[in-house]
């Protein structure tokens, strides 16, 4: 049985980016997430795969405090999220966590440059951030970030006038400016054509060179670009957790196939299984 | 929760009855019955008459309307003599000068009307802003406060500007102040509804984007909320302001000053030529403002 001692910094959390213990998320009477143990070390490249509703997004939201857990312990970048973190603690965490979503997470009425500068809001406080009068140094790095993703010519274009691929590149430029320790990418290529998808993945991998990267991917062809470790989620539980080389098509097919028979004994049932204990 | 589900089920069943061709047919039938009831009851009370000689009256009024009084500025008799029955000259009047004085007064009244509409609209918008924040469903303000704010908005929207004006004239006396307050109070309800809708159509993805980098609530407000609601706020402000310019022209009827005063005067004296001049000014003013505000709203979209 996992105890509090298991969670002490030197067992799971020493320098660890992410540590989950006995985590259970329940919403509307349904278990969204049911994970016994999950550790992710700094600098790891992890992909999460699984069917719709498998709990991938819930897991990512959990790591930034946008979803709350019913039971268990979550530690992200040395911060304990289990004990109802205060808004200040959550903000401090989010300063260090870069997020990229399906291309919708930009402020449509602001320009590409201004959207990039949102990444620096953690460093620029007060009235300057209200009127978006950013220091020259931040502006310069924002332009450099846009240049890095090849969007400098579009810097003054409003985000809602950009194409899907361009929007994702702006989001990556925002990551570059934010300089996070952990990057969470939730289906970053969902709305893109294959060419744009691989370009965005390359840029994302570059942006994550000095960070931990956790991405949710559906396209198996993109896995090698973004991950060296693959976690398969099924019905909120970890179905497999393997190095990239050990993941073959059959495993993915099995993961996405609906269950013919509802499992009578849940996977890895233990006395202390997070959700069944409730 | 089950209570909520049951209520929704009930509502869905009723909507279900009204769907489809049969439902639409019965709605049409109900509407036809209502119209017939209105017509027949009015006719049976003998209230549907058009007066004694409507055609002659119409021709006379239209004829005077067709000659707006401002034409006197050029075509008026400079030496109009008012004579008594025995031919004695009572008074000599220069029609052109009289009309010039009238037009000057008309200009001042127009300016008063614009001032009432402008300040009243601003007042309404400022009062409506906090109430809209409370009633917007996606901001989930405390329930009692939200209900209170919604009640204030509904009540002010359902009371006509003129009614507010009549009450306010009794409180603050005759003059533009009453007009400004009346416009402000009535448009408060409209503003509140439009502002709340603007807030409800907020792009939540934009808010999440800014929140996810750890922005403080004030940073989220200025970088995500404000840029998306400001254009809509400005558009609704222009729209209601334009409406209020039209509305404030009749406030003079109750002594709040402005063009309405001249309208009452002209109708009371059956001076249709003068009324015609006033109405031309109203139409010009409203359509100019309409064109301007449409340009600005297009530029903001």
Token pair for B216: 């403080």
Supply the CATH number for residue A105's domain. Answer: 3.40.50.300
B175 touches A at CB < 8 Å? no
At B2 the pLDDT is: 55
At A32 the pLDDT is: 83
**B 53-112 residues with CB < 8 A to A:** none
At A182 the pLDDT is: 92
Q: Cα torsion at B85, B86, B90, B95 (round to 10°)?
A: 60
Contacts of residue A96 in chain B, CB cutoff 8 Å?
Answer: 214
Residue ranges covered by each domain of chain B: 2-40, 96-300
At A141 the pLDDT is: 93
B206 touches A at CB < 8 Å? yes
Q: Residue A64: closest CA among chain B residues belongs to which residue? A: B212
- Which architecture does CATH list for B96-300? Orthogonal Bundle (1.10)
CA dist., res. B283 & res. B287, Å (int)? 6
Contacts of residue B213 in chain A, CB cutoff 8 Å?
Answer: 94-95, 98-99, 118-119, 121-122, 174, 178
Domain that holds residue A108: 44-66+86-256
Strands A71-76 and A18-27: antiparallel
Q: A81-136: per-residue pLDDT in tens?
A: 887 888 888 888 898 998 888 766 888 889 999 999 999 988 888 888 888 889 99
With an 8 Å Cβ cutoff, are B227 and A107 in contact? yes
Determine the length of chain A. 278
- Closest-CA distance of chain A to residue B15, Å: 27
Max intra-chain CA distance, chain B? 94
A174 touches B at CB < 8 Å? yes
A133 touches B at CB < 8 Å? no
At B225 the pLDDT is: 86
Alpha-carbon distance values, B273 to A190, B58, B63, B266, B268 (Å): 69, 14, 9, 8, 13
CB A73 within 8 A of CB A6: no
Inside any domain, residue A201: yes
Determine the length of chain B. 301
Predicted model pTM: 0.71
Closest alpha carbon to A54 in A276, A217, A274, A265: A217
Domain count, chain A: 1
A123 touches B at CB < 8 Å? no
With an 8 Å Cβ cutoff, are B208 and A92 in contact? no
Q: A256-276: per-residue pLDDT in tens?
A: 877 654 444 444 444 445 666
CA dist., res. B124 & res. B181, Å (int)? 9
Inside any domain, residue A203: yes
Sheet with A71-76, side-by-side order of all strands: A30-40, A18-27, A71-76, A79-80
Inside any domain, residue A3: no
With an 8 Å Cβ cutoff, are A109 and B219 in contact? no
- Closest-CA distance of chain B to residue A195, Å: 25
Say how many CA atoms lie within 13 Å of B46 toward its Cβ: 1
Inside any domain, residue A4: no
B234 touches A at CB < 8 Å? no
Contacts of residue B231 in chain A, CB cutoff 8 Å?
Answer: 109
B5 touches A at CB < 8 Å? no
CA dist., res. B258 & res. B245, Å (int)? 11
Q: B269-287: per-residue pLDDT in tens?
A: 888 888 999 999 999 998 9
Inside any domain, residue A234: yes
With an 8 Å Cβ cutoff, are B214 and A95 in contact? yes
pLDDT means per 10 residues, chain A with 278 residues, are 40 63 82 86 90 86 85 87 85 89 81 92 85 90 92 90 89 91 89 86 88 89 89 88 85 77 45 57
Low-confidence ranges of chain B (pLDDT < 50): 1
With an 8 Å Cβ cutoff, are A121 and B219 in contact? yes
């Amino acid at each position: 049985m996992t105890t509090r001692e298991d969670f002490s910094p030197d067992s799971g959390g020493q320098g660890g980016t992410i540590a989950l213990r006995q985590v259970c998320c329940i919403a509307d009477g349904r278990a969204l997430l049911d994970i016994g143990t999950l550790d992710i070390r700094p600098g790891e490249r992890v992909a999460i795969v699984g069917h719709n509703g498998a709990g991938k997004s819930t897991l990512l939201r959990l790591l930034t405090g946008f979803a709350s857990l019913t039971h268990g312990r979550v530690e992200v970048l040395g911060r304990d999220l289990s004990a109802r973190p205060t808004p200040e603690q959550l903000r401090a965490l989010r300063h260090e966590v870069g997020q990229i979503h399906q291309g919708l997470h930009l402020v449509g009425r602001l320009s590409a440059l201004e959207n990039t500068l949102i990444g620096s809001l953690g460093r620029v406080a007060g009235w300057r951030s209200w009127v978006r009068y950013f220091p020259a140094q931040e502006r310069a790095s924002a332009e450099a970030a846009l240049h890095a993703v090849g969007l400098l010519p579009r810097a003054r274009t409003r985000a809602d006038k950009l194409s899907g691929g361009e929007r994702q590149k702006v989001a990556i430029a925002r990551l570059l400016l934010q300089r996070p320790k952990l990057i969470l990418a939730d289906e970053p290529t969902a709305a893109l054509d294959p060419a744009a998808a691989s370009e965005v993945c390359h840029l994302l991998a570059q942006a994550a060179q000095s960070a931990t990267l956790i991405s949710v991917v559906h396209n198996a062809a993109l896995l090698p670009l973004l991950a060296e470790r693959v976690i398969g989620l099924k019905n909120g539980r970890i179905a497999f957790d393997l190095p990239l080389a050990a993941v073959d098509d059959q495993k993915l097919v099995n993961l996405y196939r609906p269950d013919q028979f509802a499992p009578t004994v849940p996977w890895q049932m233990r006395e202390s299984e997070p959700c069944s204990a409730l | 929760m089950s209570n909520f589900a049951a209520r929704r089920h009930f509502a869905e069943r009723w909507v279900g009855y009204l769907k489809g061709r049969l439902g639409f047919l019965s709605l049409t039938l109900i509407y036809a019955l209502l119209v017939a009831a209105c017509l027949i009851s009015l006719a049976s009370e003998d209230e549907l008459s058009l007066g004694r000689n409507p055609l002659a009256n119409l021709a006379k009024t239209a004829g005077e309307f067709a000659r707006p009084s401002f034409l006197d500025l050029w075509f008026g008799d400079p030496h109009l003599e008012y004579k008594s029955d025995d031919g004695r000259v009572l008074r000599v009047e220069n029609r052109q000068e009289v009309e010039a004085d009238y037009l000057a007064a008309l200009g001042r009244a127009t300016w008063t009307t614009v001032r009432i509409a402008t300040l009243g609209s601003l007042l309404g918008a400022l009062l409506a802003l906090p109430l809209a924040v409370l009633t917007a469903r996606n901001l989930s303000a405390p329930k009692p406060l939200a209900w209170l704010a919604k009640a204030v908005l509904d009540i002010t929207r359902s009371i006509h500007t003129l009614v507010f004006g009549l009450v306010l004239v009794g409180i603050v006396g005759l003059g533009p102040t009453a007009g400004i307050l009346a416009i402000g109070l009535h448009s408060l309800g409209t503003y509140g509804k439009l502002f709340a809708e603007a807030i409800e159509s907020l792009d939540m993805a934009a808010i999440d984007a800014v929140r996810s980098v750890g922005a403080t609530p004030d940073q989220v407000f200025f970088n995500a909320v404000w840029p998306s609601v400001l254009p809509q706020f400005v558009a609704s402000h222009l729209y209601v302001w334009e409406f209020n310019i039209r509305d404030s022209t009749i406030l003079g009827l109750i002594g709040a000053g402005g063009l309405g005063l001249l309208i009452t005067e002209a109708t009371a004296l059956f001076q249709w030529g003068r009324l015609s001049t006033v109405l031309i000014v109203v139409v010009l003013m409203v359509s100019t403002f309409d064109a301007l505000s449409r340009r600005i709203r297009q530029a903001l979209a």
